[in-house]
Structure 1
Amino acid sequence: MIFSMERTTFSVVVLGVAFMFIFTSFQTQGNMQQVVIKSIQQDDPGFRGSGYISLAVIYAVFATFNWLAPSCLSFLGPKLTMIVGGVTYVIFIASFLWPQTWLLYLSSVLIGVGAALIWTGQGNYLTLMSEQDTIARNSGIFWALFQSSLLFGNIFVYYMFMGKDTIDSGTRLVVFAALTGVALVGLAILLALPKPGADGSGRQDDMGGPLNALKKSFELFKTRDMLLLSVTFFYTGIELSFFSGVYSTCVGSTLRFSDPNRLVGISGMCIGIGEILGGGVFGIFGSKTVKAGRDPIVLLGFLTHLFSFFLIFLNLPTMSPLERTYDPSFFPGGQPSEFVALLCSAMLGFGDACFNTQIYSILGSIYQDNSGPAFALYKFTQSLSAAACFFYSSVVQLYWHLAILTVFCVMGTISFCVVEWKAYRAVQHAVDTKSC
């Protein structure tokens, strides 16, 4: 039993390291995509690609294909599903070595499909490698390793493009060759993952074939618990879009900062630190925190996010998502604080880790026999709300962003707690019945 537990924990660590490499490459590319595309257009006026359209295509396909991902999972199994998804990430990154408009959008469609596959496979694999008493710990371990990609990627961008408004073709070639290599390393690590159920490691999963898996997804989506959890999923998609796109834009557009462009890179690192800290704490102390339930951690994330929204409201001007501005903050003298801006970045990352690690934990616990469809529905709702946020971000001022986030933060926290309390009572009832 000890040997089995060691193997499953090792498999979760390997999974986290693989995602760290793949998403270090992808998130680094995402951080600089718009700057890179503008540079390509200067070198090649015939290139008509848009980073925003590419992003919209990715999330639209991601959301749609999540309904078919469980069917693919039932046919391929979690390991091969993740590998196929990982291949699309390599293709997308490598497409920037030969920038063509049609190739940008084709690879955007491919990675949208691949994102649905890799995340559905990941959720299923993590569940099969966990038990009721280890799912919280394993979720935290995976999250900390995966989110290390934010830290490494932002450090890379910070040093490679320091002081540059445009990126020449030679620099682009070196950078994207390196990022393609990093993604290939992550793909190779996925190939080394042990299959669930092999050599006593984890459990095997029988989803009953592709059509049955699709049927399970529709049936599961209509249940009360999943509808309630979908509100929480929706919130995580909005706040993901906010801290990964909108907040960095706000920081970079606040011209009262001494060096806003430099601050954007440091802000991204602080978000990564917050994510790693949250995942690490809940991973190391997962066996202890799970005894108190998942709701205290989600409530901690709720309070952390609300406090960060309030500080952002005080610190940054409302027009900052839309234009570069000298508008004052609400702090004395109208001068925004760099320390507060970076503190908010870390709190956004930490609160995100609170919500997402506990979502992984509750899905892996409640839906052990339907983890594939459950995680697909999670990513469907999250990616749908992320796409919606990116859509309205081009016209909505910062204060409206914060109002929307606050409303869904409250709703998402309440809905999660309702499901968690029901699950906790069911576990306690089972324990009491067994003791009798």
Structure 2
Amino acid sequence: MESADFRSEETPLVVENSPIQSRRKHTRDVHILSSAFLLIFLAYGAAQNLETSLNTEDDLGTISLGILYLSFTFFSLVASPVVRALGSKNALLLGTTGYWLFIAANLKPTWYTMVPASLYMGFAASIIWVGQGTYLTSTARSHARDDNLHEGTVIGHFNGEFWGMFACHQFIGNLVSLAMLRDGTGGSTSGTTYLFSVFLISMTLGTILMCFLHKRDGKGEEDPQSSSLSFYASLLSVSKSIITPLFDVRMLLIIPLMAYSGLQQAFVWAVYTKYIVTPTLGVSGVGGAMAVYGAFDAVVSIMQIQVVCIIIFNTVCTIS
């Protein structure tokens, strides 16, 4: 009788790493990641739409965006080994600093502030997006493994939540822009200062949210020698990853689609806002026009996801 009581006393009151706790941890991280990206990109997306309309002197806004995306393209080639060395959570936190500095530079837009901020943001953007994909996939795989679920299904669900929230950033951010500039302060320094200050607050909240993410890749638990070897091996694999797709016919055929998508986005964010919306509605009207654009973008994105799911479901049923 005493031994039974002793065993009952030794039994822990809380079982660590229970399936319910594990499930909540994974879904919690997806909620945090999605909300953080929404807060960060609602500010950046709206600021990007205003860039060519506000910073018109010597085409500073247009040139800044060009430098930003050229830098983004270059640093994307080496982003993977950098994220692997830092860990996905640390990469996400580092990536937010580039967006924060870019918004801060718009408080006093000059060549000495915008050009360095654009260069650094290109690096930060490559880091944050590789880190996002790595972190979200790692979270989905852990959730599938702990709950004995199909990995592809969980990855699809987690990506659906993330991209569903992310698609709302253009709508929400441009509504904020419309609300703060609708009194005709779009061309004044005080009006844009208040707007970019609000964007900085949103960026800061998103960065703070990311601090509550769990580490997913066991960074710091690996042997330093193996980590060093994996880093250098990643550097060597970068060249292969760049050259190999060029011999794949499918990749060559999809390059024109990528180029068209990039040109379309450049037209909407830079040319359409500067030469069509601003002369017609003024700077304050850019927020309203792009909010409508963002709303339809989100709706159509959801419709496309549903169509893709139906196609995948029918394909699986046919095969089975």
TM-score, scaled relative to structure 1: 0.56
Q: Is the 8 A contact 2:52 2:274 kept in 1?
A: no
Q: Distance in 1 between matches of 2:303 and 2:228?
A: 33
Matched, 1:245 2:270: yes
Deviation at 1:120, TM superposition (A): 1.2
Q: Is the 8 A contact 2:96 2:124 kept in 1?
A: yes
Of 12, 16, 29 in structure 1, the residue corresponding to residue 30 of structure 2 is: 12
Matched, 1:149 2:169: yes
Q: Distance in 2 between matches of 1:167 and 1:260?
A: 9
The answer to which structure, 1 or 2, has the higher relative contact order (CA under 8 A, 6+ apart) is 2
Using a 3 Å threshold, how does the CA distance of structure 1 residues 290 and 139 change in structure 2: closer, same or farther?
Answer: farther
Moved more, 6-15 or 140-149: 6-15
Q: Distance in 2 between matches of 1:30 and 1:22?
A: 12
Using a 3 Å threshold, how does the CA distance of structure 1 residues 67 and 121 change in structure 2: closer, same or farther?
Answer: same
Q: Is the 8 A contact 1:62 1:112 kept in 2?
A: yes
Deviation at 1:176, TM superposition (A): 1.8
Aligned runs of 1:10-409 on 2, under 5 Å?
10-38=28-56, 50-130=60-140, 131-162=151-182, 164=184, 167-196=187-216, 209-221=230-242, 222-223=244-245, 224=248, 226-249=251-274, 251-252=276-277, 264-280=286-302, 290-292=312-314
Find the structure with the greater CA-based Rg: 2
Unpaired segments ≥5 residues, structure 1:
42-47, 199-205, 294-423
Q: Is the 8 A contact 1:69 1:120 kept in 2?
A: yes
Deviation at 1:194, TM superposition (A): 1.5
**Cα offsets for 1:144-187 (capped at 9, x unmatched):** 21122101111122222226375323223322221111111111
Q: What is the number of equivalent residue pairs in this alignment?
A: 278
Q: Secondary structure at the match of 1:194?
A: coil
Deviation at 1:288, TM superposition (A): 5.7
Q: Which residue of 1 aligns with 2:224?
A: none
Deviation at 1:54, TM superposition (A): 0.5
Using a 3 Å threshold, how does the CA distance of structure 1 residues 33 and 249 change in structure 2: closer, same or farther?
Answer: closer
Residue type at the aligned position of 2:76 = N
Using a 3 Å threshold, how does the CA distance of structure 1 residues 140 and 229 change in structure 2: closer, same or farther?
Answer: farther
Output the aligned Cα RMSD.
3.2
**Cα offsets for 1:45-79 (capped at 9, x unmatched):** xxx67111101110111100111111211100111
Using a 3 Å threshold, how does the CA distance of structure 1 residues 292 and 271 change in structure 2: closer, same or farther?
Answer: farther
Q: Is the 8 A contact 1:74 1:208 kept in 2?
A: no
Deviation at 1:248, TM superposition (A): 4.1
Moved more, 128-137 or 142-151: 128-137
Q: Distance in 2 between matches of 1:281 and 1:215?
A: 40
Q: Is the 8 A contact 1:35 1:165 kept in 2?
A: no
Q: Secondary structure at the match of 2:268?
A: helix
**Cα offsets for 1:317-360 (capped at 9, x unmatched):** xxxxxxxxxxxxxxxxxxxxxxxxxxxxxxxxxxxxxxxxxxxx
Residue type at the aligned position of 1:12 = V
Unpaired segments ≥5 residues, structure 2:
1-18, 141-150, 219-226
